[in-house]
Amino acid sequence: MGDGEVPGRLTRRAVLAALLGSAAGAAFATAPEKSMRPPPRDPELSRRAMKPLDQLIAEIGLTGQVGFMVADARTGEVLEAKNPLLALPPASVTKAVTALYALDALGPAHRFTTRLVATGPVVNGVIQGDLALVGGGDPGLDTDALGDMARQLKDGGVHGLTGGFKVCATALPSIPAIDPAQPPHVGYNPSVSGLNLNYNRVHFEWKREAGDYTVSMDARARKYSPRVDIARMRVVDRSMPVYTYSDAGGADEWTVARPALGQGGSRWLPVRKPEAYAAEVFRTLARTHGIDLPKPDFEAGTPDGEVRVERRSETLKDILRGMLKWSTNLTAEVAGLSASVARGRAPDTLEASAERMSLWARETLGARHAALVDHSGLSDRSRLSARAMVTALSEAREQGMLPGLMKEIPMRNDRGEVLPDHPIRIRAKTGTLNFVSALAGYISAPGGRELVFAYFSADLDQRAAIREEDGEIPDGARTWKARSRLLQLKLVERWGTAFSA
């Protein structure tokens, strides 16, 4: 298939029957009554006036490769495409596939649970046995939630125990980092576990006092901010690298370069020992409520006993809506791993789980070129084509579910300013890595026509040339991303105008 050729009509399948049955397409049924840019009177004239795709890309100056496709969401008719079979890194657009995978396996009403289990009866306020903190993978568990659980334990009449403090986090495999190729200090690349806390991040704060720095590491939340020993920081005299990490066995050891700190500030750093992090924080919070716990023992499985406290997460549907809005990588990995576990075969790695998700996407959604290595899109080794993504989105739309979970993205002008009341409306998922940019979702064109589209672009040569000393955002990455997003904007505007009803 050559650039710009229009392939034949896409097929459909009766898929995702167990998912929500609401008609999310209703959100795109009508265009706004007032518009700053009324649609052209004759879309055919607009189509004949469109610039050739290669000219549009050349004028923007985007380097690397680009592949995209747009189709009529109701009929499957492909309206325009360039390199639709080109497989490129989908970045966080992967999360849309993960959302479908998780909903299909777990159902929209699924909730993750975190429990405090007593292995013996409570006599005069003392558990005659062990107390176990049992994780269920909840990606939204935070310090305040653990604090509330400790308070509920006390309110339930417990103030001590005769046995040990057990920590059980084997509902999901323990993975030190989503993508080992990322810089060690970026908070969007945390560990994954059956017991996750604060998105497996620790809050690092520094202040300059009397010519030196005071530093702190804490599990910050709104009500509680206990300091932690599981993560430690030293300020050292060097220029580069800004951060280093080492595994000290019982703790995460960090160093930071003194010249990078300025007068003060803070940032979130990833936690590499999530079970120990959650255990330390819970022990501290329990102590504030008058319950002294011994040092934790980490065990597999779930102990038999009475559930004294249970914390249930939001529904999976709401969790995934937040994931698609904020693009939280931990949530995506937990959702994908949990879906694989629910299918009966517990994976040991993210890549093994993502391979199963890719197979599911190919068989169930018709996404023939899906080859994913994680559930969040953080790795640049994942591959997806525009045609595969459009096919998946078209199949998902038949059940009216995914458009309602995706966030609405406003139209902007060439300067990046939001255009209110624009007649073209978008619900989509963005994806960004250095020298990788993606966008996929649904367009409501003037007149009520609904379109489904996918856009992937990448300059893999520039990405491969990134050095560790280049930092989180290497030279040229911002300019390249701006050009790719401008091309996205131009294409969406082109499609919404030329292919309106």
Q: What's the whole-number mean pLDDT along residues 203-218?
A: 94
Predicted pLDDT at 40: 47
pLDDT in tens, 336-373: 999 999 999 789 999 999 999 999 999 999 999 899 99
Give the bridge partners for 205, in sequence order.
Answer: 216, 266
Tell me the percentage of the chain whose pLDDT exceeds 70: 90
Reported pTM = 0.90
Q: Where in the chain is the domain with CATH 3.50.80.20?
A: 113-172+286-312
Separation of alpha carbons 17 and 454, rounded Å: 24
Q: Encode burial over 350-363: b for 16+ CB neighbours within 10 A, e otherwise.
A: beebbbbbbebbbe
Least confident of 45-54, 78-87, 400-409, 451-460: 45-54
For domain 113-172+286-312, the CATH superfamily is D-Ala-D-Ala carboxypeptidase C, peptidase S13 (3.50.80.20)
Q: For residue 497, count CB atoms less than 10 angstroms from its CB and return exposed for 0-12, middle for 13-18, buried for 19 or more.
A: buried
Confidence label for 45 from pLDDT (cuts 50, 70 and 90): low
DSSP letter string, 344-359: T---SSHHHHHHHHHH
For domain 31-108+316-498, the CATH superfamily is DD-peptidase/beta-lactamase superfamily (3.40.710.10)
Q: Where in the chain is the domain with CATH 3.40.710.10?
A: 31-108+316-498
Which is more confidently placed, 341 or 404?
341
The answer on pLDDT for 22 being more than 70 is no
Contact assessment for residue 431 and residue 91, using Cβ atoms and an 8 Å cutoff: yes
